[in-house]
């Protein structure tokens, strides 16, 4: 891309990550373009919280990353946990093309099973951990948020009030989780009410929130 074209597109609001075609995540550079969400620093919490439990993992722990986008979560874990078996799903075949490109670049393609489909529907076997950064922005808020205009709507806008896609995942999860099993789901800072929802959808599960440095909810943590 010519410099003049670059500056014109930047001044129109195209995110820098799309222009240079990379974004750093957990210390590594991932290829990104407009087919995928630009990985956010707050999503690194998902990785940090998972790695905290690595010493207790069963041999060949099975982890699924639902809504993988660029693949940043599944690929980071494949690199950090050489014995883990990873699955990565996305409803967008375009996003999976980007994720597989990144997996090839990091030489972990053979460690991750990439599957297209809705949430956990493509998964045929039980797993130990379910991780997800699914869309959770309400449609109305998305329309008002100009900074989000260049990223795929399907990566940002959650069903219903924004939490609907996460709630559907909660409904699908129980039959696919080993016991003990864990879920870590990124949520919006005003979506702490998902704790009660998760408790009602997963009876008997321990559910709490992981807060960020500002004291705002960032991750829904579930142990079954």
Binding site for ligand SAM (CB under 6 A): 36-37, 39, 43, 66-70, 72-73, 89-92, 95, 118-119, 133-135, 154-155, 165
Q: How far is the CB of 97 from ligand SAM (least distance, A)?
A: 11
Q: Which is nearer to ligand SAM, 1 or 149 (CB)?
A: 149
Task: Tell me how far, at minimum, the Cβ of 5 lies from ligand SAM, in Å.
Answer: 26
CA distances from 67 to 28, 120, 179, 205 (A): 19, 10, 23, 23
In the structure encoding, which two tokens stand for residue 129, read together? 């951990």
CB of 10 to ligand SAM, least distance (A): 22
Candidates 152, 215, 213, 162; CA nearest to 187 is: 162
**Shortest distance, position 51 Cβ to ligand SAM, whole Å:** 16
Residue 8 or 153: which CB sits closer to ligand SAM?
A: 153
Q: Shortest Cβ distance from residue 1 to ligand SAM (Å)?
A: 23
Nearest to 44 by CA among 181, 182, 218, 220: 218
Distance CA 75, CA 183 (A): 18
Of 35, 48, 38, residue with least CA distance to 76? 48
Between residues 89 and 163, which has the closer beta carbon with respect to ligand SAM? 89
Residues 207 and 194: their CA atoms lie apart, in Å, by 9
Closer residue to ligand SAM (CB): 158 or 181: 158
**Rounded Cα–Cα distance for residues 193 and 181 (Å):** 22
Residue 57 CB partners (closer than 8 Å, separation 6+): 81, 83, 84, 128
Yes or no: say if 38 and 45 are a contact pair by the CB < 8 Å rule.
no
Closer of 6 and 210 to ligand SAM (Cβ): 210
Please report how close the Cβ of residue 37 comes to ligand SAM at its closest, in angstroms.
4
Dist. CA 199–CA 220, nearest whole Å: 11
Please identify, using beta-carbon distances, which residue of 119 and 202 lies nearer to ligand SAM.
119
């Amino acid at each position: 891309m010519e410099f003049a074209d670059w500056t014109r597109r930047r001044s129109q609001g195209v995110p820098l990550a799309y222009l240079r075609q990379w974004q750093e995540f957990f210390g590594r550079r991932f290829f990104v373009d407009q087919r995928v969400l630009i990985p956010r620093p707050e999503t690194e919490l998902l990785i940090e919280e998972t790695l905290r439990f690595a010493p207790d993992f069963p041999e060949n722990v099975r982890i699924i990353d639902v809504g993988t986008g660029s693949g940043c979560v599944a690929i980071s874990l494949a690199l950090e946990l050489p014995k883990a078996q990873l699955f990565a799903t996305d409803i967008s075949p375009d996003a999976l093309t980007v994720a597989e490109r990144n997996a090839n670049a990091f030489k972990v393609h053979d460690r991750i099973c990439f599957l297209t489909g809705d949430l956990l529907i493509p998964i045929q076997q039980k797993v130990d951990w379910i991780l997800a950064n699914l869309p959770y922005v309400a449609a109305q808020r998305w329309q008002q948020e100009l900074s989000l205009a260049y990223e795929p709507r399907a990566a940002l806008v959650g069903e219903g009030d924004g939490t609907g896609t996460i709630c559907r995942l909660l409904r699908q999860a129980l039959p696919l989780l080993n016991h003990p099993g864990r879920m870590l789901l990124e949520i919006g800072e005003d979506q702490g009410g998902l704790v009660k929802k998760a408790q009602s959808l997963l009876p008997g599960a321990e559910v709490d929130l992981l807060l960020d440095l500002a004291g705002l909810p960032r991750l829904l943590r579930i142990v079954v």
